[in-house]
Structure 1
Amino acid sequence: MNNTFLSQFLMMTNLYSVGMVIILVGLFFIINKMSKKFKFTKLMIISIFIGLALGVFIQLVAKFPDNPGEITWINEVSTWYGLFGNGFMDLLKMIVVPLVLVSIIRVIMNMKEDNLGKLTFKSMFMFFATTAMAAIIAVIVAKIFNLGSSSIQAVSTSEELREITSLPDTIRGLLPSNPVKVMADGNTVAVVIFASFLGLAIRRLSKKYLDIIKPFMDFVEAFYKIIVSVAITVIKLMPYAVVPLMASTIASRGVKSLLDVVDFILALYISVAIMFVVHLVIITLSGMNPLTYIKNASKALILAFTSRSSLGTLPVTLEVLTENMDVDSGTASFVTSLGSNMGMNGCAGIYPALVSVMLANMAGVEMNFTFYVMLIIVITISSLGIAGIPGTATMSVSVVISGMGMGAYFPLAGAIIAIDPILDMGRTMLNVNGAMAASIVVDSSMKKENKKERKIA
């Protein structure tokens, strides 16, 4: 069973490939049956464990190989599983840009101009502040674990230092010079800027030309209702996507590769857990019960963990914030859209801090107080403009270690890069949690200010 049709088109050259796809389809039927008995959140959690068990089972059948990527049938299974898992993420990404565009236009055309400035300032402050906190936590954890001093070996890697973009060019890249292109690229910050200009123009023109622009305002309201309905329809497919996403990640990376860098994995997930608690404290101070938050946020967090895409999770994040947490739809859209491209606590905060300390230990770089202060500053500034899709954390690391003068040591991180998807799951979940925490804080602050203004008036 090894010809072009089977190997390149059908992607099934082995009975194992056929069997694993049949097992996945069978699990879909089981999930469909369970969906009638369990609530959505419980079904999502069950799906994670099913996917984890399936991934380990694939590894067991393959006899836990050192390099799963060299086994043809595992690659074929991952490709078929990607049809369902990544296909679902493609559907979510399909609605991200129109959802962000119409949501921002809708809220801006009804918002006071000074409120827009306050909203922008508060959002960016929250993202920069939490990213700095995440980096500090990661540095402390990295020092406790003494990353890079002994357990992680220097290995060769095909990864190269990513091309670094200067800060002015990064900021300029966020401007929508071509609105159609930035929409196609998924640059949500640029989409927010473009939508803000449209919203401001609509509000300004409505004073004199309301009759003329009223049809467009009605169109925005109608389209918003439609795109939200589409999002809800797609979101209902989540449990079916979680299983193949989780299984494929475990199967393609292998259990053995995780054991080689177990200390780094532990350091990252401990850092993520600590920063998650910090988010809960911030949320509690904003007046929300942390247990209620966790219960309501679980849908978005589970998808972020399994999909590894902050941007792809955006429609679910918005639904959770507006439907379950009573966050203003405009505030939620604005803050989370920014959070999909900047201030990512996991990918742009914790991860580059851990890698930097690890590389410094491996290369014998002196780490004094000045080193740590500089590292936090570089991480915080470089968190601007990091795209919310899988793989961009490597870009963040490139920027940070280059800023610290350690770019030549990038190849030493080969063992870490090899298991990046496992690390990316926790990082992305924290990214999304940080965006939701920022949305709740900003929304609470904006509502308090509006109440004070109404009392004064």
Structure 2
Amino acid sequence: MQMSTLLLLGLFLLLLWSLNRWHRSRESLAPAVFAGLVLGAVYAGFLQLARQWAAAPAQEVLAWVDLLGDGYVNLLHLLVMPLVLVSILGAVVRISSTRSLGKISLSVLAVLLGTTAIAALVGVLMAQLFGLTASGLVEGAREVARAEVLDQRLGRVEGLSIPAMLLSFIPKNIFYDLTGARDTSVIAVVVFAILLGLAALAVRRDNPEQGALIEQFVGVAQSWIMKLVRLVMAFTPYGVMALVAGLVARSSWADILNLFSFVLASFVAIALMFVVHGLLLMANGVSPRRYFAKVWPVLVFAFSSRSSAATIPLNVETQIGGLGNAPAIANFSASFGATIGQNGCAGIYPAMLAVMVAVPMGINVLDPLWLTTLVAVVVISSFGIAGVGGGATFAALVVLPAMGLPVTIAALLISVEPLIDMARTALNVNGAMTAGTLTQRWLGDTSAAAPELARP
């Protein structure tokens, strides 16, 4: 191992030690997460300099940085399935009426899909205002390789019907889905947990004593899993630091500048959707300032990890402990929001790409019929995009062919995808938490749930 590598690793350990001292001196997780974000960006600057001087040491150091960052994300993925299973099961077992279960599901889905429709319109507006077009985009070696991959994956979504998408939500082998092997495994586990919970309610009606034992067992399982969640959550600042360091160190600023208009338009569109979320909360008596003060550590992790699924544990924990949402609402909104109605990946992104391709083809993208069709396709595909997996890219692979447009543009934007995807993921997760908070206001006991969020 070269001396420069040892020095860079020593600096990384020193920053981790400093972050640990900062974390231990504060009870709240939020300041430590922010500190991890800043330190990760600073360390990435040193790695960028090292990469310019000698490529080998920087790459070797990044392997160790990824060990911490990817290891933390792996632990969060480990938590997702057990947390979803026991949390949804516990919510159903304790519910007083199956009607409440239906109301929660419909309310969460309505917010997720409604905001996705708004996100599609925002994407169209931004593409028009910034004059974005597919004409003139450079196709290099990476773009050609990406196009070949997309051609292969396009076969997975061509001819995919809505019934086929919905069928993928129904579990066939729950043990297989508990491994997360399918793109729709999270929803499949939710469906299984609901069915298992409904069976427990039936047992409670026939035999109250056995029903009480089931409820007690589920309660113990929930407490056990939540202790595990909090144990892993304690490593969040260090995981964020490593993830940010790796992402920033690998960024190509030349590519970002080359596609600056698209990057800027994407971030403006994402920022506008955060404003939309805030307005929806304010219209329902929730203070946006206090809401975002509670959820921003979750958004920082979503931003750095680029994984809505990995953010589910922190999402649920924050909704229950910070926002005061009922466990049933928190778990439904976090689980559904990780795979359905993603405002950033399934709303803004495919709508912007559709406009960029349609304009050079002479299509009037502001034509009411074409615009309505695009929004409808985006909303439908956002509901079933988990059936094909791959986030924003697969959303584009569904939407563009449905609108009669080529999919090549998705390959031409590969250079800036990681940067934009970070913000899109944060928006997706915020959409899920917004859906949970609004559902709590509409269906829950708002007088008892997080009164500090109410507008003064």
Q: CA deviation at 1:212?
A: 3.1
For the 8 Å contact 1:355–1:397, the answer to whether it is kept is: yes
Map residues 378-397 of structure 1 onto 2, 5 A cutoff: 378-387=377-386, 391-397=390-396
| 1:98 aligned partner, one-letter code | P
- Asked if 1 retains the 8 angstrom alpha-carbon contact of 2:81 and 2:180, the reply is no
Paired position in structure 2 for 1:145: 130
Q: Which of 424, 439, 442 lines up with 2:439 in the alignment? A: 442
1:82 equivalent in alignment to 2:66? yes
SS at structure 1 position matched to 2:384: coil
Identify the range of structure 1 (413-422 vs 91-100) with the bigger mean alpha-carbon deviation. 413-422
Q: Which moved more, 1:310-319 or 1:390-399?
A: 390-399
The yes-or-no answer on 1:124 pairing with 2:124 is: no
The answer to which of 113-122 and 76-85 deviates more is 76-85
Partner of 2:94 in structure 1? Answer: 110
Q: Are 2:256 and 2:415, in contact at CA under 8 Å, matched by a contact in 1?
A: no
1:414 Cα deviation after fit: 2.9
Which residue does 2:236 correspond to in 1? Answer: 238
Which whole-Å deviations, capped at 9, do the CAs of 1:203-239 have from their partners, x for residues lacking one? 1111222333433321110010111111111111111
Report the Cα distance in structure 2 between the residues aligned to 1:226 and 1:333, rounded to whole angstroms. Answer: 16
Secondary structure at the residue paired with 2:340? coil
Q: Which runs of structure 2 are paired with 1:191-230 in the superposition (5 Å)?
A: 191-230=189-228
1:383, CA displacement in angstroms? 0.3
- What's the RMSD between the two structures over aligned residues? 2.4
Q: Decide whether aligned partners of structure 1 residues 268 and 118 sit closer, same or farther in structure 2, where only a CA change above 3 A counts.
A: same
Conservation of the 8 A alpha-carbon contact between 1:351 and 1:397: yes
Q: 1:320 to 1:389 in 2, by over 3 A?
A: farther
8 A contact 1:308–1:389 mirrored in 2: no
Separation (CA, whole Å) in 2 of partners of 1:136 and 1:15? 53
Structure 2 CA distance for partners of 1:76 and 1:148, relative to 1, 3 Å: farther
User: Which moved further from structure 2: 251-260 or 435-444?
Assistant: 251-260
Query: Aligned residue for 1:174?
Result: 169
Matched residue, 2:451: none
* Residues 75, 391 of structure 1: alpha-carbon distance in 2 compared, 3 angstrom cutoff: farther
Displacement of 1:145: 0.6
Instruction: State the 1:23 CA deviation.
Output: 2.1
- 1:39-438 counterparts in 2 under 5 A? 39-63=28-52, 71-111=55-95, 112-148=97-133, 152-155=137-140, 156-159=143-146, 160-161=150-151, 162=153, 163-164=156-157, 165-185=160-180, 187-362=185-360, 365-369=363-367, 370-387=369-386, 391-407=390-406, 410-438=407-435
Instruction: Tell me how far apart the structure 1 counterparts of residues 204 and 356 of structure 2 sit (CA, whole Å).
Output: 57
In structure 1, the residue matched to 2:454 is none
For 1:315 and 1:137, how far apart are their aligned partners in 2? 29
d(CA) in 2 for partners of 1:388, 1:429: 21
Return closer, same or farther for 1:312/1:419 CA change in 2, 3 Å cut-off: same
Gaps of at least 5 residues in structure 1 are 1-11, 66-70, 452-457
| Equivalent pairs, count | 432
Change (3 A) 1:376 1:77: farther
Structure 2: gaps of 5 or more residues: 449-456
Deviation at 1:40, TM superposition (A): 2.2
Encode CA deviations 1:369-399: one digit per residue, 9 max, x unaligned.
1322221111110001334999421111111
Distance in 1 (alpha carbons) for counterparts of 2:331 and 2:284: 19
TM-score computed with the length of structure 1 as normaliser: 0.89
Alignment match, 2:23: 35
CA contact (8 A) 2:65 2:246 kept: yes
Alignment deviations for residues 267-315 of structure 1 (CA, whole Å, 9 cap, x no partner):
1111110000110111122222111111100111111011111110111
CA 113–412 in structure 1, closer or farther in 2 if over 3 Å, else same: closer
| Aligned position for 1:454 | none
Percent identity of paired positions between Structure 1 and Structure 2 = 31
- Asked if the contact 1:151–1:261 (Cα under 8 Å) also holds between the matched residues in 2, the reply is no
In structure 2, what is the Cα distance between the partners aligned to 1:169 and 1:417? 29
Provide TM-score, normalisation by structure 2.
Answer: 0.89
